[in-house]
Each structure stands twice: as C-alpha cells, then as structure tokens.
Amino acid sequence: MVFTLFFAFIVTQRVLELGIARRNEQWILSQGAVEYGQEHYKYMVSLHVAFLASLLLEVIVYDKTLSAFWPAILTLFILTQALRIWAIQSLGRFWNTKVLILPDASIVKSGPYKFLRHPNYTIVVLEIMLIPLMFNAYFTAIVFTLLNAWMLSVRIPLEERVLSDMTTNYASYMEERNRFSPTFQKESD
C-alpha cells in the first residue's frame, strides 16, 4: 500500500512536470529558442520510463518492503522535492526537460542556481538513488545510477557548450566560477 501510493505520487509528479515542460517549450520556441540534443532526448526519456518500470517490477516481483532507514530516506527525498520546486520556479518559463536555448537571454543566477551549477540534475541523481533505496530495490538503484551518470555525461557537456556558444552570458559568468558551484570563485594561480 505504501509503495503503491508513493509510486503513484512519483508518476503523477512526472506527468505534471511534462505538462509544465510542454507549455514552457511552446512559449520559448515562440520567442525564437533553438532546440539542441534531440538525438539523445529520446534515450533520456526511455531511461526515466525504464527506471520507473524497473522499480515497479523489482518491488513487486521480489516482494521488496520499506527500508529500515525509510524515515531518513524520505526526509532526503522531501528535501530534493523542495529543491526541485525551487529550481523550477527560479527558471520559470525557461525550465524544460529539453535543451532549448533562447539567444541573447541572460542566464538565471538566482534560487538554487546561485549555489549549484546544475541543481535539477543533482536532484535527479539523488532521486534515482533514494527512491529505490526506500524500498530496498538495490538493482534499480545501482543500474539506473550508472545509466543516469552516462546520460548526464552526454547531457551536461552539450548544455554547457550550447550555452557558452550562444549569445547568452553563460561563458563569461562561469569563466570565473567553480566547476560545481557558481557561488565560489576559481582560485587564481
């Protein structure tokens, strides 16, 4: 029963986020945005669908139960959701699941983007570990953590390259910043 409710929450949340992303996509494309990374997007979507399917199958087939550490894991999960909402609100209409770049737009430097270079990807990394671990679904946690790391090794460099190449202010802003957190300046030689 707990798993069913939690799983339904996750699926509902993803569907709502896709609706927000679709609405934002229509708006930003109407403003002249250009899409990048179409080649890998279908694989990213497939990875997330497979993650949910794997979680569902592992918990049901192997009759997995709630972890003994579920209170701590649930607390971390709730914190990631608060960070997710903060990230989505901070980007506003620019938030999307696709790489859509609006030329001449300024990068967002507020909200969690003031502290983390890629807060949304940090959230996804944590979720892919936390959600299965809450139900002792170790196979799903390990396999999809590795697959997601591979996906992000494609996605993040593409996104950063495109942001730097376009006429946004990303390259100049990040030139002096730490690799993972824009809050910290690079050390000078």
Q: What digits encode the pLDDT tens for the residues 29-57?
A: 999 999 999 999 999 999 999 999 999 99
- Contacts of 151-159 spanning 24+ positions with Cβ under 8 A: 151/40, 151/43, 151/44, 151/47, 152/121, 152/124, 152/125, 154/40, 155/37, 155/40, 155/44, 155/99, 155/121, 156/118, 156/121, 158/36, 158/37, 158/40, 158/99, 159/36, 159/37, 159/99
Answer for the pair 94, 33: CB distance below 8 angstroms, yes or no. no
Quote the CA–CA distance of 120 and 129 in Å, as a whole number. 15
Mean pLDDT (the chain) is: 92
Where in the chain are the domains? 2-167
Predicted local distance difference test score (pLDDT) of residue 109 = 86
Predicted local distance difference test score (pLDDT) of residue 170 = 74
101 pLDDT above the threshold of 70:
yes
Q: Residues for the chain: how many in total?
A: 189
172 pLDDT above the threshold of 60:
yes
Quote the CA–CA distance of 132 and 67 in Å, as a whole number. 10
Q: Please spell the DSSP secondary structure of 67-111, one letter per residue.
A: -TTHHHHHHHHHHHHHHHHHHHHHHGGG--SSEEE-TTPPPP-SG
- Which amino acid belongs to residue 65? T
Q: Exposed, middle or buried by CB within 10 Å (0-12, 13-18, 19+), for 146?
A: exposed
145 pLDDT above the threshold of 80:
yes
169 pLDDT above the threshold of 80:
no
Residue closest to 25 by CA, chosen among 118, 122, 91: 91
> What CATH number does domain 2-167 carry, 3.90.79.10, 3.10.110.10, 1.20.120.1630, 3.40.605.10?
1.20.120.1630
Terminal Cα distance for the chain, rounded: 57
Could you tell me the pTM of the whole model? 0.90
Predicted local distance difference test score (pLDDT) of residue 163 = 85
Give the mean pLDDT of 171-178: 70
